[in-house]
Structure 1
Amino acid sequence: MKKSTVIGLLGGGVLVLGMILLSPEHISAFFNIPGLIVVIGGTLAATVVSRPITDVIRVLRSLPELATDEQPSAGDEIEQLLRVAEWYRHGNIRAAERELANVSNPFLRSGIQLVIDRGPLQDLTKVLQWRIAGLRAREQADAQILRTMATLAPAFGMLGTLFGLVHMLSGLGHSGLQEIGATMAFAMAATLYGLLAANLVLKPLSIKMERRTQQRLVSMNMLQEGILLLYDRQHPILIRETLDAYLSHQEDASYQVTKLAWMNAA
């Protein structure tokens, strides 16, 4: 798991636990199982109403990967491309195919294979662009699902609190002040769950997914440039310099996109 993810989750958990332990005699007030069910179940149900259930399931299954996923080094992928380019430039197709077997990135591997097969350049460009567009559309939709859930969770937290207040008011004539206070605290826990789910989990994960998507798009666009240079049998040194310059420019643009995502989420 990435260090930043570990630090964030542990830091948030310690903060919440510390606030609970400030009043150890009232710890039970923070545990509201019905309220938790309302927040989780209501958020999922409302999300499924607005989005296809298959997309929601896919996003939920991808959350562990999102927390643990380490993006491959762009430098390693460039080196793999350059080793293929060295052989391909000299017409040694067999050696280029042997190097291709060591390429782990599916996008890069399929692009190099299309180059070796010597299909039309127009078809090669279309295939690469379709794959980039497909990843962008899919992951942007996934991030939107997380943002939707982050919007819904606090609302269902309030709904859980209202259920608790209705229960409290219905027995107002038969309860003492101490019991009323305990019931109200119990009801307010649902609002706490909704706010924590939205601001500690769902919203940060949606921003992280957008950041990961941007990194992947930068990498795929860079590799597309390299694949097209490989198709033209350009010298590996030219390919390296071109990709290094492209990567440096795109990383600056990626920072601006990430900054904008944080501002929109605020």
Structure 2
Amino acid sequence: MFAPYADPVAAAFVVGGTFVALLIRTPPADLARAIRALGTLGRKPFSAEEGLGQIAALGRIAKRHGVMTLDRSRITDPDIADAIAAIVDGVGPDGVAATLRHRNEARAERHLAAADMWTAVAELAPALGMIGTLVGLVRMFMAMTDPTAIGQAMAVALLSTLYGAVLAALVGMPIAGRLRRLGRAEAFERARFEAPLVALARRERPQFREAAE
């Protein structure tokens, strides 16, 4: 069924050319991150509810047994863990807020870099497809006396455009859009951690002040 649409030369121009262009314009770390991000496409958007429940539980533990006991708590979320470690170390509300914002902004930047790479695929593939089309047309005009060669060159020209459009419309743009939506949702949800953690830091900070005095 798809045999007439398979052409290794056209695929080499579009897929290979797009990959080479990505290697040139994208830092290796961002390229690897964008490929790993494919594993997140099927996940549900991040929800802060579980983390908020744990923060509330940690607040009750600190109120009952003291903030130093939080150091022994098992916290799986890295943002909450960093904030709790800062509170245990006596960092004030402003410092905790700054820590959370920095982590959230850094994560959002990483997500954006991964989405940008797939956006680049959507931009580059049609351009490489056009290059393949032009190469195929040149080959066709150079072989006007050979009907077999004309057909092969025309196939390269047409299929290069097809591959570029398919790679952009069905791979690059959908993946980039999905990653951006997931990244925005996670950034919004994680911003909900700031208020209760800052409140916990504000409640516990006077203890460290008194101890210092």
TM-score, normalised to structure 2's length?
A: 0.83
| Structure 1 Cα separation of the partners of residues 48 and 98 of structure 2 | 23
Match of 1:161 in 2: 133
CA distance in 1, matches of 2:122, 2:56: 43
- Checking the alignment, whether the CA contact within 8 Å between 1:29 and 1:182 is kept in structure 2 is no
Q: Report what 1:39 is aligned to.
A: 14
2-side partners of 1:188 and 1:104: how far apart? 52
Structure 2 counterpart of 1:81, which letter? Answer: I
Contact map agreement 1:31 1:186 (CA 8 A) in 2 = no
SS at match of 2:91: coil
Which of 176, 189, 204 is 2:159 aligned to? 189
TM-superposition CA deviations, 1:81-125 (whole Å, max 9, x none): 111111112343465445x30x32111121122122222333222
Amino acid corresponding to residue 64 of structure 2 in structure 1: H
* Aligned with 1:125 (options 97, 112, 122): 97
- Whole-angstrom CA distance in 1 between matches of 2:93 and 2:50: 25
1:218 Cα offset (Å)? 1.0
Aligned residue in 1 for 2:175: 205
| Bigger Cα displacement from structure 2, 83-92 vs 150-159 | 83-92
Equivalent position SS for 2:145: helix
**Identical aligned residues as a percent:** 25
Structure-2 residue corresponding to 1:175: 147
Deviation readout 1:45-79 (Å, 9 max, x if unpaired): 2233333233223322332x232344453221111
Alignment-mate amino acid for residue 161 of structure 2: T
What residue number does 1:73 align with?
A: 47
Aligned AA for 1:211?
Answer: R
Give the CA deviation at 1:129.
Answer: 1.9
Residue type at the aligned position of 1:39: V
For residues 96 and 51 of structure 2, what CA distance do their matches in structure 1 show? 19
Residues in 1 aligned to 2:68 and 2:46: alpha-carbon distance in whole angstroms? 26
Would you say 1:88 and 2:58 are equivalent positions?
no
Measured after TM superposition, the shift of residue 181 of structure 1 is 4.4
TM-score normalized by the length of structure 1: 0.68
Structure 2 unaligned spans of 5+: 205-213
Residue 75 and residue 122 in structure 1: after superposition, are their counterparts in 2 closer, same or farther (change >3 A)? closer
Kindly tell me the number of residue pairs found equivalent between the two proteins.
204
- Shift in Å, 1:196: 0.9
1:223 pairs with one of 193, 198, 201: 193
Q: Residue deviations 1:120-160, cap 9 Å, x none?
A: 33322222222122122222232222212211101111212
Contact 1:88 1:233 in 2 (8 A): no
Q: Look up the equivalent residue of 1:79 and give its one-letter code.
A: G
| AA aligned opposite 2:145 | G
Give yes or no for contact 2:120–2:172 (8 Å, CA) kept in 1. Answer: no
Q: Which has the higher contact order (CA 8 A, sep 6+)?
A: 2
**CA distance change for structure 1 residues 71 and 115 in 2, over 3 Å: closer, same or farther?**
farther
Comparing 152-161 with 181-190, which one deviates more in the overlay?
181-190
Deviations 1:19-51 (A, max 9, x none): xx4xxxxx4320011211211221122233333
Q: In structure 2, how many angstroms separate the alpha carbons of the residues matched to 1:116 and 1:94?
A: 6
